[in-house]
Amino acid sequence: NSNVNNTFSGDNGDISLTVTSPAGCATTVTDNVLVYPIPNANFVPNPNNFTTAALPRFVFTDKSRVAAANGSFIESYAWDFGDPLNDADTSSLQNPSWYYSTDTATYCVNLEVTTNHGCTNDTTSCVIVGPDLIVYIPNAFTPNISGPEANEGFSAIVSGHKQLKLVVFNRWGEIMYRTSEITTSLDGTTKTKPWNGNYNGELAQQDVYAYQLVVTALNDEEYEYSGTVTLIR
């Protein structure tokens, strides 16, 4: 057969061609075939896949590798940051950074690397720009039924969180109330399930109470807030 295909599995190899004439005369030519390795594209974003709209910036660190066989090395980088509102969301730097132009969304970043022998590989990983953590805790409430509904119970208003826990203590350190539940008001405000000012089915006395609020943000960072709230009757 005058046309032969062969796939080399990764190592260099010799290939020989022997030509025989009708008279039985033969000659052989041998040549060495170089096999260049395929690179492995990889990168790590910082922060680790998540940031908030307050600082929508990621630094991307290249972690690509290629075997050094036959003098191979990564020669070029082609980044696409997946920002739909910016046509210039590309880079050829090895370790670039990027500010995203919209508020909250998931962006898929692609990196293609090319070796000095023209071998390529690419990888895609997504990063998230999430909402900022916002916490508001009032310092007084009036559970007397006659006041404004917003003041009837004690709640922490929280957004941009994953989970939370609110605990209320009296001046002797006794737990008066605890919750990890979230409620949503008609206006869309999210807040902890309110304490109605009762304890064991009885009205708690007018006093100053301590609270502790522990919030886990969307990036898994934990924040603790403590202070006092006045129950007014």
Q: Are residues 138 and 227 in the same domain?
A: yes
Tokens 């260049």 correspond to: 36
| Whole-number pLDDT of residue 138 | 94
Boundary of a domain, candidates 76, 106, 130 = 130
Q: Does 95 map to a domain?
A: yes
Q: Does 16 map to a domain?
A: no
Query: Over 60: is that where the pLDDT of 183 sits?
Result: yes
Q: Tell me how far apart the terminal alpha carbons of the chain are, to the nearest angstrom.
A: 100
Of residues 187 and 142, the one with the higher pLDDT is 142
| Whole-number pLDDT of residue 89 | 95
Q: Are residues 93 and 81 in the same domain?
A: yes
- Please tell me the pTM assigned to this model: 0.69
Boundary of a domain, candidates 130, 156, 177 = 130
Boundary of a domain, candidates 74, 99, 130 = 130
Q: Are residues 115 and 138 in the same domain?
A: no
We report the CATH number of the domain holding residue 99 as 2.60.40.10
Query: Over 80: is that where the pLDDT of 185 sits?
Result: no
Q: Are residues 101 and 183 in the same domain?
A: no
Q: Are residues 98 and 145 in the same domain?
A: no
Q: Does 17 map to a domain?
A: no
The pLDDT-based confidence of 150 (bands split at 50, 70, 90) is low
Residue 67: domain span: 43-130
Q: Are residues 59 and 141 in the same domain?
A: no
| Whole-number pLDDT of residue 11 | 62
Alpha carbon distance 191, 31 (integer Å): 75
Q: Are residues 160 and 125 in the same domain?
A: no
Give me the number of domains the chain comprises.
2
1-10, 44-53, 67-76, 133-142: the lowest-pLDDT one: 1-10
Tokens 């953590």 correspond to: 133
Mean pLDDT, the chain, whole residue set: 88
Find out whether 126 and 138 touch, Cβ atoms under 8 Å. no
| Whole-number pLDDT of residue 9 | 58
Find out whether 174 and 192 touch, Cβ atoms under 8 Å. no
Q: Are residues 120 and 156 in the same domain?
A: no
The pLDDT-based confidence of 146 (bands split at 50, 70, 90) is low
